[in-house]
Chain A
Amino acid sequence: MIRPQDLLCPRPEGLYCAPGDFYVDPVRPVDRAVITHGHSDHARAGHYNVLATPQTLDIMRERYGGEFAHTTEAVVYGQTVARNGVEVTLVPAGHVLGSAQAVVRWRGLTMVVSGDYKRRRDPTCPPFEPTPCDVFITEATFGLPVFRHPDDKGEIARLLRSAAQFPERSHIVGAYALGKAQRIIRLLREAGWSDVIYVHGALERLNALYERHGVDLGPLAPATTEKKGDFAGAIIVAPPSAMQDRWSRRFPEPVAAFASGWMQIRARAKQRGVELPLVISDHADWDELTATVDDLRPGELWITHGREEALARWATLNGIEAKALALVGYEDDDD
């Protein structure tokens, strides 16, 4: 009987599969990498060979240029490839465009590396697919019972209400450049906002990439310097860092909004000077994390990063063996 740690074990470079000789989401350059999704803490440049979904490879190419890896291997959702006899299948994770869980099978043992994931609907990517497994390896970015993300439609409605209430002001929505920004724009469209949405320059290429992959973002325009009044009543989407930057001064009395799971905590919103916190996250909240573990009832739960002690305690109290891997290098302060 093989033990899970014989198939996958944590190393300083990341989670390593010895029999298949590959890493999942390594934080340092390695020979062979399986990448779950395109966020820069998971997808780094400089690996020799990269296996990922076509969308994720596209995102890496856009961010790092064509030379980001020596060779690449595109694997669509549900397709299985072998690595020295270890089977790897990429399954939707519902996090961002192209995001996948890596299902790793070897000699009857199934381990799932979830990467980052969420369980709710996202108009820009297919939903998380639960895969029965012996070991489920989960993130715990929002692994505390205080994180209970509300319905995203309600949050978008709050933004639209504020835009109607303050027609003379502009609304700047801080949103992570990959995934969150496009989801916010898409949600605005679904809520009936058909006006031009202005975007910060840092988002333009990723927006175009999403469009190429069939996500219709509607009319967009660059938020470049125009006369101040032109932005009255406008919604502007920008990376979180831009909101406190001198960049934001071109807008009339901007209302600072920020779409993030961290916005659940009032002190976080206050500290950043956010007036309209929008609790919209691409990570699973506490209820989604525990519901997922409960659905899968894996033999073991491994926790990669986040607030792992609370989720480990919950699992133990619910009769599931859990351990924290304490992997370093993944933290998503802006999501």
Chain B
Amino acid sequence: MRAFAELLDRLSLTASRNAKLTMVRDYLRETPDPDRGWALAALTGDLTFDAAKPAFIRKAVESRMDPQLFRWSYDYVGDLAEAVSLVWPARPGANREPQLSEVIDALRGASRAEVQRLIEGWLDAMREPRERWALLKLMTGAMRVGLTARLAKRAAAEMAHPDLGGVEPAEIEELWHALAPPYGDLFAWLEGRSGKPSSANPARFRPVMLAQAIDEAVDFGKLDPSDYAAEWKWDGIRVQAAHEGGVRRLYTRTGDDISKTFPDVLEALEDEGVLDGELLVIRDGKVAPFADLQQRLNRKTVDAKLMAAHPAAIRAYDVLQVGAEDTRGLSFAERRRRLEAFVAKEGSSRIDLSPIQPFATWDELATLRASPPEGDPQAAEGLMLKRLDSVYEAGRPKGPWFKWKRDPFLVDAVLMYAQRGHGKRSSYYSDYTFGVWTQNDMGQRTLTPVGKAYFGFTDEELLQIDKFVRDNTIERFGPVRSVRAEPHHGLVLEVAFEGLQRSTRHKSGVAMRFPRISRLRWDKPPGEADELEALERMLAQMEGR
């Protein structure tokens, strides 16, 4: 438990992805079975408990110490699990510290009352607050250490024995749904002690094929347009719908199972096969804004009302399996023929085809991208290019698939606040809140924040902005500084973004998708930056499409 606690603690305070990868990899290497497997399950979110509610732990603490002293402690710390882990008044004579696997076994098996007794005993036995904190996090099922399941699996791939000649994360992704914690067979394989576990598991997740961003200046000169098919890049989420051996599953591109959230879509997939496509809300045959899809995402279950109001559908663009046949080794052109036949057979409004856009030259395609025809293509993020003879290959191979995104929207905004970054950026003000002009209640022209961005600039530009922030600070709030932002003094940032949504959480009423700094406008006086009205016009245009 101690090593697991240390891992959680360090993950929660580390921003760098590579550093997190190293920490998880080393933990998996150094920790014996079955503890490491349970840890991996907890980190990938495949194991959650609601064995005990935080309220019980508060009662337990208050029965052991002066409630006033506890109240002051809790007020000071602000987080119940953390406060309890720090103040826990251990009773003497406690047992040895528990192993992670003991804790998991008990949490899975015991009744709620038993669990509470056990937890008190474990808290007594643990010597360090860090361990108690980890236990309480585990028990309430809220890890929140900023680690994606994908990264945890990549770390497992990296621990592979050199004799295996390198294990791709995709191999683990594909195996994943056939494995169960504590993954003894997975580790035995990764350590070269046994063969690869079988992935034969009906409707399992197949690792997806991803596209490279095209480099217009370099790539088009080398590519022959007749080798490629083009289709729109839809603005939904990439999903994989699988129907196999009587089992139906819907996965995100990272392999998260979202079947329960979209039963309406899976119901439409009557024949056995595995489709790759975009999940969208399609109302009256027309793609709805991304915000509509968000209403359906991040919910564990849905009701009929929500499903009727926000009907979800798959716009299919590839097929990985038809009946019992794995089609991933076939060419794109061949797969496309099978996909068209498959979708036609389903005959459902919940599954349609992403149409192929014919073109003869790259110039012709560029024109299409710049002015998409009426209808859904106007909502597309750009175009996809897929080599007709390419097989379906997991990961992001260079060459077969390209994405060619639409030019982003641009706005000139004024830097208002800057926050210090993390990790190697901890000495730099690298997270920027920017605003545009609007009229306040008094009729005065003021700035209202419209977004936050922390990338898009070069290292050299970061130094320049950092210096500007330090030289123009008005106030400090912990790691945040407000900077001078006046009509004749301040810094104008050209911000690029992919779209706008209405937002009740932002005072300005709009929220940007993927904002980033595209240029520093040292030349532009802040007074000439954009108005909120300009964003509202863009938003109206997007909604009116």
Residues of A participating in the B interface, judged by any CB pair closer than 8 Å: 144-148, 150, 154, 158, 162, 165-166, 243-249, 253-256, 264-267, 269-277, 307, 309-310, 313-314, 317
Closest to A245 in B: B427
> Do the beta carbons of A271 and B86 come within 8 Å of each other?
no
> Do the beta carbons of A253 and B73 come within 8 Å of each other?
no
Closest to A266 in B: B82
B109 at the interface (CB under 8 A from A): no
User: Which chain A residues border B73 with CB–CB below 8 Å?
Assistant: 144-146, 310
- What's the least CB distance linking A127 to chain B, in Å? 23
Residues A256 and B87 in contact in the complex (CB < 8 Å), given A145-B70, A158-B6, A265-B77:
no
> Do the beta carbons of B22 and A145 come within 8 Å of each other?
no
Residues A275 and B65 in contact in the complex (CB < 8 Å), given A165-B23, A166-B22, A243-B427:
no
B326 at the interface (CB under 8 A from A): no
> Do the beta carbons of B426 and A266 come within 8 Å of each other?
no
The distance in angstroms between the C-alpha atoms of A106 and B89, with both chains bound, is 40
> Do the beta carbons of A275 and B423 come within 8 Å of each other?
yes
B433 at the interface (CB under 8 A from A): no
User: Which chain A residues border B63 with CB–CB below 8 Å?
Assistant: none
> Do the beta carbons of A253 and B13 come within 8 Å of each other?
no
A-B contact pairs, 19 of them (CB 8 A): A144-B72, A144-B73, A145-B69, A146-B73, A146-B83, A146-B87, A165-B23, A243-B426, A244-B426, A246-B466, A249-B427, A266-B13, A271-B478, A273-B422, A273-B426, A276-B10, A309-B72, A310-B72, A317-B66
B537 at the interface (CB under 8 A from A): no
User: Which chain A residues border B423 with CB–CB below 8 Å?
Assistant: 253, 256, 275
> Do the beta carbons of A266 and B12 come within 8 Å of each other?
yes
Closest to A273 in B: B426
> Do the beta carbons of B68 and A313 come within 8 Å of each other?
yes
User: Which chain B residues border A150 with CB–CB below 8 Å?
Assistant: 128-129
The distance in angstroms between the C-alpha atoms of A272 and B73, with both chains bound, is 21
The distance in angstroms between the C-alpha atoms of A247 and B426, with both chains bound, is 12
B391-449: which residues lie under 8 A (CB-CB) from chain A? Answer: 420-424, 426-428
> Do the beta carbons of A275 and B13 come within 8 Å of each other?
yes
Indicate with 1 or 0, residue by residue over B55-68, a CB within 8 angstroms of chain A CB atoms.
00000000001101
The distance in angstroms between the C-alpha atoms of A154 and B427, with both chains bound, is 28
> Do the beta carbons of A277 and B13 come within 8 Å of each other?
yes
User: Which chain A residues border B87 with CB–CB below 8 Å?
Assistant: 145-146, 148
Q: A273-B421, A274-B13, A275-B15 are in contact. List 13 more A-B contacts (CB 8 A).
A: A145-B70, A145-B87, A148-B87, A150-B128, A166-B19, A244-B427, A246-B427, A256-B423, A264-B86, A264-B129, A275-B13, A276-B10, A309-B72
B76 at the interface (CB under 8 A from A): yes
- What's the least CB distance linking B385 to chain A, in Å? 36
User: Which chain B residues border A253 with CB–CB below 8 Å?
Assistant: 16, 423-424
> Which of A145, A255, A313 has the most chain B CB atoms inside 10 A of its CB?
A145
> Do the beta carbons of A165 and B65 come within 8 Å of each other?
no
The distance in angstroms between the C-alpha atoms of A317 and B65, with both chains bound, is 11
Indicate with 1 or 0, residue by residue over B78-90, a CB within 8 angstroms of chain A CB atoms.
1100110011010
The distance in angstroms between the C-alpha atoms of A317 and B66, with both chains bound, is 9
> Do the beta carbons of B69 and A310 come within 8 Å of each other?
yes
User: Which chain A residues border B82 with CB–CB below 8 Å?
Assistant: 265-266
- What's the least CB distance linking B94 to chain A, in Å? 16
Contact with B86, one of A148, A269, A272 (Cβ below 8 angstroms): A148
B93 at the interface (CB under 8 A from A): no
Residues of B participating in the A interface, judged by any CB pair closer than 8 Å: 6, 10, 12-16, 19, 22-23, 26, 65-66, 68-70, 72-73, 76-79, 82-83, 86-87, 89, 128-129, 420-424, 426-428, 466, 478-479
User: Which chain A residues border B65 with CB–CB below 8 Å?
Assistant: 145
The distance in angstroms between the C-alpha atoms of A150 and B130, with both chains bound, is 10
The distance in angstroms between the C-alpha atoms of A158 and B6, with both chains bound, is 9
The distance in angstroms between the C-alpha atoms of A243 and B16, with both chains bound, is 17
- What's the least CB distance linking A284 to chain B, in Å? 16
> Do the beta carbons of A165 and B13 come within 8 Å of each other?
no
Closest to A274 in B: B13
- What's the least CB distance linking A178 to chain B, in Å? 23
The distance in angstroms between the C-alpha atoms of A65 and B134, with both chains bound, is 49
The distance in angstroms between the C-alpha atoms of A27 and B163, with both chains bound, is 68
- What's the least CB distance linking A131 to chain B, in Å? 27
- What's the least CB distance linking A37 to chain B, in Å? 26
- What's the least CB distance linking A297 to chain B, in Å? 19
The distance in angstroms between the C-alpha atoms of A145 and B421, with both chains bound, is 32
- What's the least CB distance linking B120 to chain A, in Å? 17
List the 5 closest A-B pairs by CB distance, nearest first: A273-B426, A146-B86, A145-B87, A253-B424, A248-B427
The distance in angstroms between the C-alpha atoms of A266 and B423, with both chains bound, is 16
- What's the least CB distance linking B292 to chain A, in Å? 35
User: Which chain A residues border B478 with CB–CB below 8 Å?
Assistant: 271
Closest to B87 in A: A145
User: Which chain A residues border B424 with CB–CB below 8 Å?
Assistant: 253-254
User: Which chain A residues border B428 with CB–CB below 8 Å?
Assistant: 249
- What's the least CB distance linking B30 to chain A, in Å? 10
Closest to B82 in A: A266
User: Which chain B residues border A147 with CB–CB below 8 Å?
Assistant: 86
Closest to A265 in B: B77
User: Which chain B residues border A256 with CB–CB below 8 Å?
Assistant: 423, 426
The distance in angstroms between the C-alpha atoms of A254 and B428, with both chains bound, is 13
The distance in angstroms between the C-alpha atoms of A245 and B470, with both chains bound, is 11
Closest to B426 in A: A273
- What's the least CB distance linking A333 to chain B, in Å? 13
- What's the least CB distance linking B422 to chain A, in Å? 6
Contact with B79, one of A148, A264, A266 (Cβ below 8 angstroms): A266
User: Which chain A residues border B15 with CB–CB below 8 Å?
Assistant: 275
- What's the least CB distance linking A277 to chain B, in Å? 7
User: Which chain A residues border B479 with CB–CB below 8 Å?
Assistant: 271-273
> Do the beta carbons of A275 and B14 come within 8 Å of each other?
yes
The distance in angstroms between the C-alpha atoms of A248 and B428, with both chains bound, is 10
User: Which chain B residues border A317 with CB–CB below 8 Å?
Assistant: 66
User: Which chain A residues border B26 with CB–CB below 8 Å?
Assistant: 165
Residues A148 and B129 in contact in the complex (CB < 8 Å), given A244-B420, A270-B13:
yes
- What's the least CB distance linking A285 to chain B, in Å? 10
User: Which chain A residues border B19 with CB–CB below 8 Å?
Assistant: 166, 255, 275
User: Which chain A residues border B420 with CB–CB below 8 Å?
Assistant: 244, 273
User: Which chain A residues border B466 with CB–CB below 8 Å?
Assistant: 246
Residues A144 and B14 in contact in the complex (CB < 8 Å), given A244-B426, A272-B479, A313-B68:
no
Closest to B480 in A: A271
The distance in angstroms between the C-alpha atoms of A96 and B43, with both chains bound, is 42
User: Which chain B residues border A271 with CB–CB below 8 Å?
Assistant: 478-479
User: Which chain B residues border A248 with CB–CB below 8 Å?
Assistant: 426-427
The distance in angstroms between the C-alpha atoms of A165 and B466, with both chains bound, is 30
Contact with A314, one of B69, B79, B421 (Cβ below 8 angstroms): B69
- What's the least CB distance linking A262 to chain B, in Å? 11
The distance in angstroms between the C-alpha atoms of A243 and B479, with both chains bound, is 13
> Do the beta carbons of B14 and A313 come within 8 Å of each other?
no
Closest to A246 in B: B427
- What's the least CB distance linking A216 to chain B, in Å? 30
The distance in angstroms between the C-alpha atoms of A147 and B466, with both chains bound, is 35
The distance in angstroms between the C-alpha atoms of A121 and B239, with both chains bound, is 59
User: Which chain A residues border B69 with CB–CB below 8 Å?
Assistant: 144-145, 310, 313-314
User: Which chain B residues border A274 with CB–CB below 8 Å?
Assistant: 13
User: Which chain A residues border B72 with CB–CB below 8 Å?
Assistant: 144, 307, 309-310
User: Which chain A residues border B427 with CB–CB below 8 Å?
Assistant: 243-249
- What's the least CB distance linking A142 to chain B, in Å? 11
User: Which chain A residues border B426 with CB–CB below 8 Å?
Assistant: 243-244, 248, 254, 256, 273
> Do the beta carbons of B22 and A165 come within 8 Å of each other?
yes
